[in-house]
Amino acid sequence: MNLRMMMTRLRRDDGVTLAEMAVTTSIMSAVMAIFTTGVVQLFQAGNNNELVAMTQSQLNTAFIRLDRNLRYAAGISEQHSDAAGNMFVEYLNTEVSAGEKPECAQLELNRATRVLRRQVWPQTTKLPGNWVVLASELNIEKSSFKLLVPEPGSNTGFQRLKLTLVVASNPGRGQTEAKTEITFTALNTDRLTKADDVCPEARA
């Protein structure tokens, strides 16, 4: 075997160099990082969408409950806020059993806990502070109450309450939001109903 044949065989037997291994490893690491990031983002998006869907279902239940109450309300107050930025609205329910006082109810959009909650009490008595949460995971800054009063010349004299709720997944880069608006009509109100007269003890 001459020298040329030996050199040819040695070249055929050359293995992978350390530099080639390093380059290959770097490329594989980059590909795996991209793949892992994509999977994590997909997983987070799926969790956010599931959370929003669950909360939307909760809202539907809350709207049904509120519709039963607000439909027969005898008055609705204007939205007002406290020093912490929590928003409130009150309504009066006169559809009560014989011998009972009319019932006041207060809705609150609580900034700290990101919930819509409600408390009720007999009219003119002290507020109990017994809250029941109706909906959670809300973006309070984008949610609101709005009293709609009859416009001059309109065919209806009913007060209406427009409730806007924005459901939000956990705050962060991948946050998902869904907005819902619904308007409740108080059938026991008329043009003479004054918002300031509705459960004033809640604003004292």
Q: Which pLDDT value is given to residue 170? A: 63
Taking the C-alpha atoms of residue 86 and residue 138, their distance in angstroms, rounded to an integer, is 13
Taking the C-alpha atoms of residue 91 and residue 78, their distance in angstroms, rounded to an integer, is 10
* DSSP character string of 74-117: EEEPPPEE-TT--EEEEEEE----TTPPPEEEEEEEETTTTEEE
Confidence of residue 23 (pLDDT cuts 50, 70, 90): low
Note the pLDDT tens digit of each residue in 25-47: 666 665 565 545 544 444 444 44
pLDDT surpasses 80 at 142: yes
How distant is the alpha carbon of residue 39 from its chain centre? 26
Note the pLDDT tens digit of each residue in 89-111: 999 998 888 888 999 999 999 99
pLDDT surpasses 90 at 146: yes
Q: Which pLDDT value is given to residue 114? A: 94
pLDDT surpasses 60 at 112: yes
Q: Which pLDDT value is given to residue 41? A: 45
Q: Within 13 Å and on the Cβ side, how many CA atoms surround 115?
A: 11
Residues 6+ apart with CB under 8 A from 176: 45, 48, 49, 51, 52, 168, 169
Q: Which residue has the higher pLDDT, 199 or 22?
A: 199
Confidence of residue 24 (pLDDT cuts 50, 70, 90): low
DSSP β-bridge partners for residue 183: 162
pLDDT surpasses 80 at 167: yes
Q: Which pLDDT value is given to residue 42? A: 40
Three-class DSSP category at 170: coil
* Location of structure tokens 């819902």: 180
As a whole number, mean pLDDT of residues 159-164 equals 96
Taking the C-alpha atoms of residue 189 and residue 142, their distance in angstroms, rounded to an integer, is 28
